Amino acid sequence: MRTTILLFIALFMFSCGGNQTQKPDGNTNVISGGKIIAPEKKMDYGDELVLVKEGTTNEVKLSEVSQTVEGKIDVYDDGKIYLTKLWETKSAVSFEVIDGPIAELKKLNGKIVIAEGKVSKTGAYSGTIKIKSYKLKK
């Protein structure tokens, strides 16, 4: 009887908390099928905006960086303006113009410009740009 009670207590403890290990930082790892599953890591990005695609752990950090970008102006049918860097290659990067001289840039469709402004990358081949100034490339 005594052995049965001790065995029951041991099994109960294993099933309730035996699959967890406590790390020194206070986080708990859970062991599942022989693999340790770490809890989701929280990253502090300060004032930057972090996008996480639903169902994935891919993070896109949006931070504005002042840059000079040479690219081709593309005006789409919906009125959006894009500055496309490396437009002649398969590695073209398109930046949507979200601020700046929009009316002037619409008249430059297909022209090459050198623009200075705040650039935010939103993906490997995309981003946004707030154009402060630009000049036509000759």
CATH number of the domain that 128 lies in?
A: 2.40.50.140
Number of separate domains in the chain: 2
Please indicate, yes or no, if residue 123 is contained in any of the structural domains.
Answer: yes
Q: What is the pTM of this model?
A: 0.55
| 73 and 23 within one domain | no
pLDDT for 138 equals 76
Distance of alpha carbon 119 from the chain centroid: 14
State how far the Cα of 100 lies from the Cα of 84, in Å rounded to an integer: 16
pLDDT of residue 124: 86
Asked if residue 66 and residue 35 are part of one domain, the reply reads no
Q: What is the pLDDT of residue 52?
A: 54
**Contact (Cβ atoms closer than 8 angstroms) between residue 133 and residue 115:** yes
**Amino acid code (one letter) for 94:** S
d(CA 103, CA 101): 6
Distances in Å between the Cα of 113 and the Cα atoms of 7, 39, 71, 92, 103 are: 77, 47, 6, 15, 15
For position 66, what pLDDT does the model report? 87
- Looking at the structure, tell me whether residues 120 and 66 fall in a common domain: yes
Q: What's the average pLDDT block by block, 10 residues per block, for the chain (138 residues)?
A: 64 54 48 45 47 55 80 94 94 93 93 94 89 91
